[in-house]
Structure 1
């Protein structure tokens, strides 16, 4: 028999030992001694949980972040599951599964409709109902490839009639978090699943690194910041690399200013790498697309916590009725048949008998992707276990159209 519960302050060393060995195995078990006085503020964020045996010995640990986000017009809690770790002697015994069950139950108790995580392996979490929420692309090029950016930014300013005035780049620190957050919110307005960041998240997860802090610069006037970049410079296989962790801009001119800022590192680095959304315009801006390497990456994963709650919480732009047979092997309250009735943009969900007529059958992962807007139903019918006729797929496409959604934070 195992118990899922919060870790006490006295068990912080256990959490540190499990997580350190899980993500830095080269150091060896217990190699990095825990000193509470040396723990960074970023390590104090979130809520630590664990699974324990009958003797109170820890078997596995994890951390929860209580994020808030937007999903199809509704502001919702989206817990983030992180730092899942178990030592070798307790693996292959179902302990991580029991911790996932406890975690999802806790999310359910908090009435959170969805949750998210970054996987170490997609297949591992897919078997427990999580599915890809969004993807992103890594774009790498020599800084000289961005030569066009400064002139293009000036032309865009002239086209829009915007006065750049005394706008300039300046170094930022944690005390500038509110100004940076304003740019972040402006750039991600209308994008679902983005984390609503607070001061602590900015200070200890964006302005702060695990070992070395990144560089943060902002472009704009003293009154208004219009763009920012968070980056580090590292040694790559072909010379130094300017790795831009994150960049956000209020408008296209400000985005071009970011590219020009990266170009101005040509005397210091041989490669600039930016993390962009799949619909990025950057490859179409450069003169020679052959100089730009674009690599599509898998992003975080999302999971519905409670089917009825999730489908009744979000808003709809179309009306319709559909009966769904949902398979969920981790959360029994989601396993069954649900009738969704959307009238005037408001959804009502009722559980119905298993013998009722079903319009579509799918597992919780496919439903999670459909709700999150990762892909429309007709595409999911090709890539997941979604089973429905063409008429039902059309109804689902109207109720759950593909939308702009991305979890941009790593946790």
Structure 2
């Protein structure tokens, strides 16, 4: 039987996580972890009072354009080896969807140990990371621009960071809404912050980075103007006498590599996070508030796990309702394809070309109105 774990289960929760993910919490970190658990829903399965498997649901919000959606972050999915292959994770994931729906978390995200495994439960890959390695010899600055860089550490950084991140994230789909606590506890960690200011002293971009053993690692690079992107790159190049190279983690659509004098640098694309629509009707109702044009379509969703989504929806203007009408005029897609479409991984034409949906020209136009092209963005971990 699945149970919601409580504070008295704390030691068992930590012990299972330590075993499954092969780490050991320091004593001084255990209290911080306990406080995190208080904000989470932790589902577990016990055998004879022994915790056999668990998962955590972290309450978060994500941007879909300018709007914020309640999101359930699935984390720490773990089972002791002796209890595996009993279907415990399947049961926990199915229960987590019911819990998230009851909590009005219309979308969910997770970091997969295996993409194919979580696709079976309705999650779909929605964002890749671009990992770029540039040698010292290739650190060539752009023609100089006015502006300056100010450095900060985690104990002293400006409110401009929040504003810059939010401005950037609102142009995409999927970025976590970062509270100030999130910034302090997760985003900054032990990173140095470099903020670009233009000649009017307006913050327009930043990088989060470390330097160790003559290697610079840029964990996040955000810019809202071309000058900021160039200024941040030039700041990286200014380290050429003290580093052997720089490794950058960029969003998949970031054009920095294209802009370099020598774009032929080592570049790897890594599948990263997966997303899922938990409640199709609730998600579409909120989503329609952000659509300027009228839309009329019948949408049939196939969802084998969250059965409340496994139906045909009539979508029009500001209304979504279940309908028994299903014919050649409806658009049929899996819950995974819907996530790819909603988060802007692929547009309707591309999904049609892959055979993941089948649409007429008119239906493609309607889906494009419902889900305007705006790519995914995600730069966190949980």
Match of 1:340 in 2: 315
What secondary structure is seen at the aligned counterpart in 1 of 2:345?
A: coil
What secondary structure is seen at the aligned counterpart in 2 of 1:193?
A: strand
2:79 is equivalent to residue 105 of structure 1: no
Query: In structure 2, how many angstroms separate the alpha carbons of the residues matched to 1:42 and 1:174?
Result: 21
Match of 2:285 in 1: 312
2:262 is equivalent to residue 288 of structure 1: yes
Residue 312 to residue 263, structure 1, CA distance change in 2 (3 Å): same
Counterpart contact for 1:174–1:207, Cα < 8 Å: no
| CA positional deviation for 1:354 | 6.7
Counterpart contact for 1:47–1:64, Cα < 8 Å: yes
Query: In structure 2, how many angstroms separate the alpha carbons of the residues matched to 1:268 and 1:72?
Result: 40
Residue 43 to residue 125, structure 1, CA distance change in 2 (3 Å): farther
Q: Count how many residue pairs are aligned between Structure 1 and Structure 2.
A: 377
Counterpart contact for 2:125–2:275, Cα < 8 Å: yes
Query: In structure 2, how many angstroms separate the alpha carbons of the residues matched to 1:34 and 1:267?
Result: 37
Query: In structure 1, how many angstroms separate the alpha carbons of the residues matched to 2:33 and 2:159?
Result: 18
2:228 is equivalent to residue 229 of structure 1: no
**Match among 244, 247, 260 for residue 273 of structure 1:** 247
What does 1:81-120 correspond to in 2, within 5 Å?
A: 81-120=74-113
Worse-superposed segment, 124-133 or 10-19: 10-19
What does 1:18-167 correspond to in 2, within 5 Å?
A: 18-24=16-22, 32=24, 35=27, 37-39=28-30, 41=32, 44-45=35-36, 46-53=39-46, 55-149=48-142, 152-154=143-145, 157=146, 164=147, 167=148
Residue 117 to residue 339, structure 1, CA distance change in 2 (3 Å): same
What secondary structure is seen at the aligned counterpart in 2 of 1:218?
A: strand
Residue 389 to residue 220, structure 1, CA distance change in 2 (3 Å): closer
Q: Report Cα offsets for 1:166-219 as digits up to 9, x if no partner.
A: x443232234263321222233342222111111111110222xxxx2333334
Query: In structure 1, how many angstroms separate the alpha carbons of the residues matched to 2:339 and 2:304?
Result: 14
| CA positional deviation for 1:63 | 2.3
2:213 is equivalent to residue 214 of structure 1: no
Worse-superposed segment, 136-145 or 48-57: 48-57
Counterpart contact for 1:228–1:247, Cα < 8 Å: yes
Query: In structure 1, how many angstroms separate the alpha carbons of the residues matched to 2:163 and 2:67?
Result: 20
**Match among 326, 336, 341 for residue 370 of structure 1:** 341
| CA positional deviation for 1:104 | 1.3
Q: Report Cα offsets for 1:292-322 as digits up to 9, x if no partner.
A: 2222221311111111111111122432322
Counterpart contact for 1:50–1:58, Cα < 8 Å: no
Residue 34 to residue 141, structure 1, CA distance change in 2 (3 Å): closer
Q: Report Cα offsets for 1:80-133 as digits up to 9, x if no partner.
A: 111211111121111111111121111101112211111111111111001122
Query: In structure 1, how many angstroms separate the alpha carbons of the residues matched to 2:75 and 2:102?
Result: 19
Query: In structure 1, how many angstroms separate the alpha carbons of the residues matched to 2:285 and 2:140?
Result: 50
Unaligned segments of structure 1, at least 5 residues: 158-163
Tell me the TM-score normalized by structure 1: 0.83
Query: In structure 1, how many angstroms separate the alpha carbons of the residues matched to 2:232 and 2:357?
Result: 42
Match of 1:179 in 2: 160
**Match among 221, 227, 238 for residue 247 of structure 1:** 221
2:296 is equivalent to residue 321 of structure 1: yes
Q: Report Cα offsets for 1:253-278 as digits up to 9, x if no partner.
A: 22222212221222332221212223
Residue 111 to residue 245, structure 1, CA distance change in 2 (3 Å): same
What secondary structure is seen at the aligned counterpart in 2 of 1:187?
A: helix
| CA positional deviation for 1:13 | 1.8
